[in-house]
């Protein structure tokens, strides 16, 4: 049976954090060599393994969740991260999350999780590390040989500020920014509330430009490749 960490908020028929009914799937593209179950299959796992033991269902109770798919252990098949977005599964510190393998088996379950969920470059025991937002900071989640940690708030915090400053400097070095760019500021990753499996090495910024006062320029920096992509938005 699926065990909940938070059960003190009653189910009111409304959803937590996201205001409309149904399921919500935020999926990352899979590579052509990676086998991945489809959205309907993941929804079935959520229904039968997470909700049914609690007497709930997606259709009847209109429970929403966020999900993303990626190959965490490099075996050619995707793992699926599911973050429930409903008060029945959430407390003040965050919500319940589950990782399924591509056959619907539960790899890990954890509490007090808030998005975004960021993929790290490092691995532990053959599984890719990732970060979740918990207890006011990004927390590094490392596989211990059998599962990921169950309580992210107790895991080591990750300070991304130094890397963010490096990425910001790369934007400042671009010709476009040096030609009348100003008001460069980072886009806070933890405010992007639907990001599941976003790469941790990518940073986003915005700035203004005297030559195009109607636009807000969005810059994305990949620190692994050094690539800077800038696009105007009106």
pLDDT (tens digit, 9 = 90+) per residue, 139-168? 999 999 999 999 999 999 999 999 999 999
81 contacts 68 by C-beta, under 8 angstroms: yes
Integer CA distances (angstroms), 233 to 165, 170, 177, 192, in order: 23, 20, 15, 17
171 contacts 191 by C-beta, under 8 angstroms: no
The sheet carrying 181-186 orders its strands as 181-186, 202-209, 216-222, 227-233
82 contacts 42 by C-beta, under 8 angstroms: yes
Integer CA distances (angstroms), 104 to 27, 28, 37, 125, in order: 17, 18, 9, 21
67 contacts 83 by C-beta, under 8 angstroms: yes
User: 3-state class of 216 per DSSP?
Assistant: strand
Alpha carbons 26 and 35: distance in angstroms, whole number: 17
Q: How many C-beta neighbours within 10 Å does residue 162 have?
A: 8
Taking only the tens place, the pLDDT of each residue in 85-98 is: 999 999 989 999 99
Alpha carbons 142 and 159: distance in angstroms, whole number: 16
End-to-end CA distance of the chain: 50
Alpha carbons 122 and 99: distance in angstroms, whole number: 18
104 contacts 41 by C-beta, under 8 angstroms: yes
Burial category of 40 from C-beta neighbours within 10 Å (exposed 0-12, middle 13-18, buried 19 and up): exposed
Alpha carbons 112 and 34: distance in angstroms, whole number: 30
pTM for this entry: 0.80
Q: How many C-beta neighbours within 10 Å does residue 49 have?
A: 18
pLDDT tens per residue across all 234 residues of the chain = 443 333 322 232 222 233 233 333 333 434 445 667 789 999 999 999 999 999 999 999 999 999 999 999 999 999 999 999 999 999 989 999 999 999 999 999 999 999 999 999 999 999 999 999 999 999 999 999 999 999 999 999 999 999 999 999 999 999 999 999 999 999 976 556 578 999 999 999 999 999 999 999 999 999 999 999 999 999
């Amino acid at each position: 049976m699926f065990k909940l960490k938070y059960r003190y908020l009653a189910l009111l028929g409304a959803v937590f954090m996201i205001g409309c009914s149904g399921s919500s799937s935020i999926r990352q593209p899979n590579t052509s060599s990676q086998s991945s179950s489809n959205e309907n299959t993941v929804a079935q796992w959520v229904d039968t393994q997470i909700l049914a033991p609690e007497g709930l269902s997606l259709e009847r109770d209109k429970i929403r969740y966020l999900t993303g798919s990626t190959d965490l252990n490099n075996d050619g098949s995707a793992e699926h991260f599911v973050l429930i977005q409903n008060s029945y599964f959430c407390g003040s510190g965050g919500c319940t999350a589950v990782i399924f393998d591509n056959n619907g088996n539960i790899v890990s379950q954890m509490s007090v999780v808030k998005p975004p969920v960021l993929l790290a470059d490092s691995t532990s025991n053959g599984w890719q590390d990732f970060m979740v937002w918990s207890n006011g900071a990004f927390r590094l989640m490392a596989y211990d040989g059998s599962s990921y940690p169950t309580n992210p708030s107790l895991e080591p915090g990750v300070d991304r500020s130094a890397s963010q400053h490096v990425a910001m400097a790369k934007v400042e070095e671009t010709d476009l920014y040096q030609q009348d760019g100003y008001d460069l500021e980072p886009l806070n990753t933890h405010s992007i509330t639907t990001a599941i499996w976003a790469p941790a090495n990518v940073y986003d910024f915005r700035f203004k430009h005297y030559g195009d006062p109607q636009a807000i320029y969005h810059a994305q920096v990949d620190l692994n490749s050094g690539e800077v992509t800038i696009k105007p938005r009106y």
